[in-house]
Amino acid sequence: MSPEPREPARPPLARRLLAEGVGTALLVAVVVGSGIAAQTLSPGDVGLQLLQNSLTTVFGLGVLILVFGPVSGAHLNPVVSAVDWFLGRRSGTGLPVRDVVAYTGAQTAGAVAGAWLANAMFDLPVWQVATTARTTGGHVIAEVVATAGLVAVVFALARSGRAALSAVAVASYIGAAYWFTSSTSFANPAVTVGRVFSDTFAGIAPGSVPGFVAAQVVGAGLGAALVLALYPDARASAGDAVVPTDTGTPTRRG
């Protein structure tokens, strides 16, 4: 008989949840904080504000992936965690469902905390709710495209053995998507929820959230389908997204 499938040991769940929570909090602090700074430094010039916001997000996201990736994979995004489970569910390489749920909770809580932190750093009221509505048809389509592209980038790199390039590739894609999508590429349900809690340049009104999240879920499904079409055995390396957390010690999943 062939041995049961084995997977590389991951760090303890508590440590991974800490990485996902803190990492997502810092990501939202980078996005919201740079938006507030851009609005303050370049009043009246929305194009320059977006440039400042997008460049800061690119640099910040790349660093966060490098710092937190070896611990939790640096998903920082519920749809990435969900697709990791989906692609690896049969081969046992992806996250278990319970970990996806836990990751999603940590990511969402971290995102809200990150928005509060950004507000506090700029001497704004910590508790506030965004009023910027973003629910046009174009925004919804843009979120589908942005999220599908993000998922495709993450798992194509994992499947082709180039996950080490994720910090550069994922950050670069998000930076580009700031400009080629009308929604400025949220592509992340947790970050979308977090940005509700800052009524600033990067905020999104609560009424816009359901449409954005639904579009992101659809986009994640399309991105996963594209990866499977391009790399039929993508599930074999699903656990390498975004960054591998392999400690080199084989262990059975219980």
pLDDT at position 251 over 70? no
What pLDDT score does 40 carry?
Answer: 95
Contact 205, 136 (CB under 8 A): no
Q: What is the mean pLDDT of residues 238-246?
A: 66
Superfamily of domain 8-234: Glycerol uptake facilitator protein. (1.20.1080.10)
CA–CA distance, 125 with 157 (Å, rounded to integer): 41
CA–CA distance, 169 with 104 (Å, rounded to integer): 23
Render pLDDT for 115-127 as a digit per residue (tens, 0 to 9). 999 999 999 999 9
- For 3-35, b/e burial (b = at least 16 CB within 10 A) is eeeebeebeeeeebbbbbbbbbbbbbbbbbbbb
What pLDDT score does 250 carry?
Answer: 39
Q: What is the mean pLDDT of residues 80-100?
A: 89
How sure is the predictor about 5, in pLDDT bands with cuts at 50, 70 and 90? very low
Render pLDDT for 163-186 as a digit per residue (tens, 0 to 9). 889 999 999 999 999 999 999 999
How sure is the predictor about 252, in pLDDT bands with cuts at 50, 70 and 90? very low
DSSP 7: E
Other residues' Cβ atoms within 10 Å of the Cβ of residue 156: 18
Q: What is the mean pLDDT of residues 29-34?
A: 98
What pLDDT score does 23 carry?
Answer: 98
pLDDT at position 48 over 50? yes
Angle at 180 between CA 179 and CA 184, to 5 degrees: 55
Q: Inter-axis angle of helices 46-72 and 166-180, to 10 degrees? A: 150
Render pLDDT for 125-151 as a digit per residue (tens, 0 to 9). 999 999 999 989 999 999 999 999 999
Q: What is the mean pLDDT of residues 235-242?
A: 63
pLDDT at position 69 over 70? yes
Domain ranges of the chain: 8-234
Q: Which residues are paired to 131 by β-bridges?
A: none
Render pLDDT for 186-210 as a digit per residue (tens, 0 to 9). 999 999 999 999 999 999 999 999 9
What pLDDT score does 10 carry?
Answer: 82
Pairwise pLDDT comparison (237 vs 21), residue with the higher score: 21
The CA–CA distances, whole Å, from 52 to 80, 134, 152, 176, 190 equal 26, 20, 26, 13, 22
* Tokens 């947790």 sit on residue: 190
Task: Read off the pTM.
Answer: 0.90
Q: Inter-axis angle of helices 13-41 and 97-121, to 10 degrees? A: 30
Q: Which residues are paired to 251 by β-bridges?
A: 7
